[in-house]
Amino acid sequence: MLPFIQETMTETAIAWTFFVGYLVLVGIAATIGIRKMSGFDAFSVGSRNVSPVLVGLSLAANLTSAATFIINPGLIYLYGVSGVVAYAMALPLGVFIGLIVFSKAFRRVGDTVTARTVPQWIGDRFGDRRLKVFFAVASLLQIAFLVLITVGLTRVLANVLALPMLAAMALTLLIPLVYLFWGGASAHTLTNAAQSVLMIMVALLLLASGAHYLADGLDGFLAQLATIDPVLAQPINPQSLLFRDWFEVVVANVAIGIAIVNQPHVMSKALYLNSKRDVNTYLATAIGVLVLFFLVIVVGLYARLLMPQAGLAPDAVVPTYIVDVFGPVMRSVILIGLVAAGFSTMEGLLVALSTIFTNDLYRPWAARQELAEDVIERRSLRYSRLFLVGLVPVVALISYQQIVDPNLSVAILGQNGVYALFAATFVPILFGIFSDRIRTGTVFLSAVVALIVHFGMYYGEVTVYANNPAVPAFCALVASTAVALVGQALRPADSPTSATTPATSS
């Protein structure tokens, strides 16, 4: 027994050594960012002197978080190749289309209205501060995705560092809070870029870990899956809860991929850049790295071949696979990559939400109170930090509930929240960029319709697809876009909206 205990302690010590080394690396990057922070603008959107390659790496890290590296492979473990088609092919295709179509145009109009956040962009683009407030409140749906990341990281840290769940959760939430509290976006752009480099290395290690399953090529790999259950090797899985037909696997996920780009912490990356050339470099970097990151979910197939009985909860699959397949040193390296994957998106979300709270709720109110600009600036920075502190216990409570009693997987909660936000912000971004003939009332109505359709279909259990958040979100996208098109068609051609001359922030 004693040698086993010593071996376990040694393995844990190795993991802790790598983890502390990672924290030092992130701390150095955060310190560099903090030194560049000169006020609320630097806290909220950072400096526009950041390299477009670094911003592209930061975006890739943001878009492929704990969901891609830790949580989604568990669903692939359960349901097979159909999940790979949905999450590694259809969804990325939509993301790439959205990035290419929206980024340059969003940045151009964002520069016109000097927007710090997506709610401000929408409010100023359509000249109505009420829209800003509405979308600022709607952005709180991002908390669901923060919970997803927290649960994924908590499970990994608990497994590899031999920590109780509550202690692992405390580390998960407090580490990014500490350096974001001081550095904001100036810190997280650099830390995200550093984390993205780690994630590239870990993605390659995870993909290589199942190379022996591919010794007989793709056909041989699929044949091994088929011996466990023929449906695991098929592009659709009628027995699953998420990938039952081509509509659910491809159509809904491509649409969601396009809408994903409208997340506050994703779209705002385009505002960090100085020129059109920078945008091209940023997009090329982000898309190239994203292709690699999205492929990581095939680890779920490796895990199913290793553990064919499907006896694990989906959220526990990747942590268990890592412990079973890798030795202490490589396990520690993988740990760092997974932590980087989770922290990268968590940081972006925390900065975006704290900035939205202060920029789109507090600052307009303070301006109406006729407070001095230097007072507003000073309080904005303080309130952004206080918001971060207040958000942590909310995320912790929901995350604990998801650990002890999830609905299949925490992925369902995360998707349900953010997909609703995607659907609500899609029309304002799309029509705000490409149209000048839509009323602000129509913009608001389309967003409300999107939320009603999404949550009504999901919680009302409308159709057999209701349990898959991608399908209610797809229906919400269609319904809200239809509302916008009808509203635009009814507007006289010679009566442009105020969006052609965006209002200044109020």
Alpha-helical regions (H) of 36-117: 40-45, 52-63, 66, 72-79, 81-84, 91-112
Q: Give the residue among 419, 485, 493 at the shortest CA–CA distance from 446.
A: 485
By residue count, the chain amounts to 506
In whole angstroms, give the CA distance from residue 250 to residue 236.
Answer: 10
pLDDT tens readout for residues 60-85: 877 777 788 888 999 999 999 999 99
Q: What is the pLDDT of residue 494?
A: 46
CA dihedral of 17, 18, 23, 24, whole degrees rounded to 10: 80
In whole angstroms, give the CA distance from residue 113 to residue 128.
Answer: 13
In whole angstroms, give the CA distance from residue 299 to residue 318.
Answer: 8
Q: What are the Cα distances from residue 143, in Å, to 219, 302, 323, 388, 391? A: 41, 31, 30, 12, 9
Residue 333 has pLDDT above 60, yes or no: yes
Q: Give the residue among 3, 40, 331 at the shortest CA–CA distance from 162.
A: 331
Domain range 2-423, CATH class? mainly alpha
Helix (H, G, I), strand (E, B), or coil: what is residue 478? helix
Q: Give the residue among 438, 454, 118 at the shortest CA–CA distance from 255.
A: 454
| More confident: 263 or 428 | 428
pLDDT tens readout for residues 352-411: 788 888 888 887 787 777 777 777 777 777 787 888 888 889 999 999 999 888 877 888
In whole angstroms, give the CA distance from residue 338 to residue 17.
Answer: 16
Q: What is the DSSP string of 146-167?
A: HHHHHHHHHHHHHHHHT--HHH
The burial class, CB within 10 Å (0-12 / 13-18 / 19+), for 343 is buried
- Burial pattern 26-48, b for ≥16 Cβ within 10 A else e, equals beebbeebbebbeebbbbbbbee
Residue 112 exposure: Cα atoms within 13 Å on the Cβ side: 19
| 278: amino acid identity, one letter | D
pLDDT tens readout for residues 140-190: 998 998 999 999 889 888 888 888 999 999 999 888 877 666 555 555 555
Is 126:432 a contact under the CB 8 Å cutoff? yes
CA 150 from centre of chain = 12
The C-alpha angle 323, 328, 330, rounded to 5 degrees, equals: 85
Is 420:131 a contact under the CB 8 Å cutoff? no
Query: Which two tokens mark 105?
Result: 């145009």
Q: What is the pLDDT of residue 361?
A: 83
Residue 29 has pLDDT above 70, yes or no: no
CA 37 from centre of chain = 24
pLDDT tens readout for residues 402-453: 988 887 788 899 899 989 998 999 999 888 888 878 889 999 999 999 999 9
CA dihedral of 424, 427, 429, 432, whole degrees rounded to 10: -140
Is 10:328 a contact under the CB 8 Å cutoff? yes
Q: The pTM is what?
A: 0.81
In whole angstroms, give the CA distance from residue 89 to residue 110.
Answer: 30
In whole angstroms, give the CA distance from residue 345 to residue 381.
Answer: 21
In whole angstroms, give the CA distance from residue 43 to residue 58.
Answer: 16
Residues in Cβ contact with 170 at an 8 Å cutoff, skipping those fewer than 6 apart: none
In whole angstroms, give the CA distance from residue 340 to residue 69.
Answer: 10
Q: How much is the mean pLDDT over the chain?
A: 82
Q: How many CB atoms lie within 10 A of CB 20?
A: 10
In whole angstroms, give the CA distance from residue 278 to residue 295.
Answer: 26
In eight-state DSSP terms, residue 314 is: G
Is 132:123 a contact under the CB 8 Å cutoff? yes
Q: What is the pLDDT of residue 273?
A: 72
Query: Which two tokens mark 106?
Result: 């969003």
In whole angstroms, give the CA distance from residue 120 to residue 505.
Answer: 7
User: Domain ranges in the chain?
Assistant: 2-423
